[in-house]
Amino acid sequence: MADDSSPDRLDVLAVAPHPDDLEILCGGTLAKLVRQGYKVGIFDLTSGEPTPRGSLETRKKEAEEARRILGVPLRVNVELPNRVLMDGPDARFALATQFRKYRPNIVIVAAGRTPAASPDHHQGHLIGEAARFYSQLTKWDERFDGTSPYRVPHLVYAPFPFESEQRHWHSQFVVDISDTIDAKIAAVRAYESQFDSARFSRVEHMIRSANGFHGARCGYMYGELFALPTPVGAPDLVSLVNGSKGSLAPVQIPGKDHLPMG
Ligand SMILES: [Zn+2]
């Protein structure tokens, strides 16, 4: 585990199938994490091409511009195939190799099924979970470019909007992105080949509505929704509830005369 002190080591590694997915799902949080001083990397499983209006060249430029706008220092393309992205051993090896190289504390995986959009999204979710498991395996270093085993401590889901199953994600939480919503919108706008001005205004409306809704639930102007694969463990109920600074009004303890009941 000597590599754990490597300068390449990331605090947060976020992964999704296509350049633009992470910007839409959690671009505000990624920009915020960078501003908070964390080391963040964006990992695109595919180039996102072909698409009706894009090209490899333009998509690459747009992804780089979006990275710059968010302030994320690292963007890696895992170079798996777009449109036919499938969970399977080779895709798992390819992503697990990145996990073993960058040894992140947290992996954010774009998650959920999107039957009205690309099937790559669901496959990326499966690949992300499997790669996290594979990353720790011993006696298989040759399958991971000679890197040494690494156990990713934490997995976080960034659910796709319109996730079809409306599943009851465990342990949902919302990150306040009120200060980075504009950077997020600008990063999505960088993908001009995907969003001409008519499409962009619909996408911006969708993002502001969804992030406005999730934020409002927690007392923020804008928020991004995440989930964990497990319940949150709480050694102390009070500190857990009070821990989400700013999202809860201070508890008012009524005087004895004003107790609503009994
Ligand atoms: Zn996508």
Ligand 1 center to 21 CA (angstroms) = 5
Residue 175 to residue 158: CA distance in whole angstroms: 11
Spatial neighbors of 13 by CB under 8 A, at least 6 apart, are: 40, 41, 43, 98, 99, 102, 104, 106, 107, 108
CA of 208 to the centre of ligand 1 (A): 18
Radius of gyration of the chain, Cα coordinates, nearest whole angstrom: 20
Average pLDDT over residues 80-92: 97
Q: Which long-range contacts (CB under 8 A, 24 or more apart) does 234-241 make?
A: none
DSSP 174-203: EEE-TTTHHHHHHHHHT-TTT--HHHHHHH
pLDDT, residue 144, reads 97
Distance from Cα 10 to the centre of ligand 1, integer Å: 24
Q: What is the pLDDT of residue 161?
A: 81
Mean pLDDT of 217-243: 92
Least confident of 94-98, 171-175, 251-255: 251-255
Q: Which amino acid is present at 12?
A: V
Q: Ligand 1 centre and the CA of 18: distance in Å?
A: 5
Distance between CA atoms of residues 171 and 167, nearest Å: 12
How far is ligand 1, taken at its centre, from the CA of residue 178, in Å? 24
Residue 115 CA to residue 164 CA, distance in Å, equals: 7
Highest mean pLDDT among 101-105, 165-169, 254-258: 101-105
Q: Give residue 166's pLDDT.
A: 60
E strand or H helix at 42, and its extent? strand 40-44
Considering the domain delimited by 7-233, tell me its CATH architecture: 3-Layer(aba) Sandwich (3.40)
- Asked whether the predicted pLDDT for residue 249 surpasses 70, the reply is no
How many angstroms does the Cα of residue 87 sit away from the middle of ligand 1?
15
**What is the Å distance from ligand 1's center to 173 Cα?**
22
Ligand 1 centroid vs 163 CA: distance in angstroms? 13
- Residue 249 Cα to ligand 1 midpoint, Å, equals 37
> CA angle at residue 55 from 85 to 191, to 5 degrees?
90
**Segment 59-77 mean pLDDT:** 98
Give the number of other CB atoms < 10 A from CB of residue 112. 22
